Amino acid sequence: MNYRLLSDDQLEYVPLADAAELPVGERLFVTIDNSPIVLFNIAGQIFAIEDTCSHDGNPLDDAPLEGHAVICPRHGARFDLHTGRALSMPAAADIAAYPVRVRDGQIEIGWPKTG
Ligand code: FES
């Protein structure tokens, strides 16, 4: 699911890390509510997706990037960092993508409100 499509009143922004912990070209692994998330800093723009390949349910870990796509290291499925969309087989299902903002030097991601 692309949570970036939700409005701010449907989201709760959760601070995850100091922005200095995620320099350009790096990635950062965090967990919210037991859900693994990976953050990427690509040319100063930060993206957050679920750290899971929908093909086997295991982490993307150090999966290579190609532009704004991450490529699963196991069978090569690609996922769009903007939307979480599965771009190529063998992954048929999308993964989650989250909105990101930086406030007061903190990286925050928009997490869907419950209830
Ligand atoms: S485990 Fe990711 S493409 Fe197969």
Closest approach atom of ligand 1 to CA 60: 2
How far lies 50's CA from each of 26, 28, 61, 114, in Å? 16, 12, 11, 18
Q: Hey, which residues does 45 pair with through a beta bridge? A: 42
Separation of alpha carbons 108 and 101, rounded Å: 5
Closest approach atom of ligand 1 to CA 56: 1
Question: Ligand 1 centre and the CA of 47: distance in Å?
Answer: 20
Q: Tell me the CATH number at 41.
A: 2.102.10.10
Domain count, the chain: 1
Q: What is the mean pLDDT of residues 4-15?
A: 91
**Can you give the pLDDT at residue 51?**
97
Token pair 């957050």 in the structure block, residue: 48
And the tokens for 107?
A: 């990286």
User: Buried b / exposed e across 56-82, counting CB within 10 Å, b at 16+?
Assistant: eeebbeebeeeeebbbbeeeebbbbbe
**pTM beyond 0.75, yes or no:** yes
Q: What is the mean pLDDT of residues 2-27?
A: 93
pLDDT at residue 115 is higher than 80: no
Q: What is the mean pLDDT of residues 89-96?
A: 96
- 95 pLDDT band, cuts 50/70/90, is very high
Each as own residue / partner, the long-range contacts of residues 70-73 (CB below 8 Å, 24 or more positions apart, any chain) are 70/40
Encode pLDDT of 52-91 as tens digits: 999 999 999 999 999 999 999 999 999 999 999 999 999 9
Q: Which domain holds residue 83?
A: 3-112
pLDDT at residue 109 is higher than 70: yes
**Can you give the pLDDT at residue 22?**
97
C-beta of 78 in contact with ligand 1 (< 6 A): no
Encode pLDDT of 17-47 as tens digits: 999 999 999 999 999 989 999 999 999 999 9
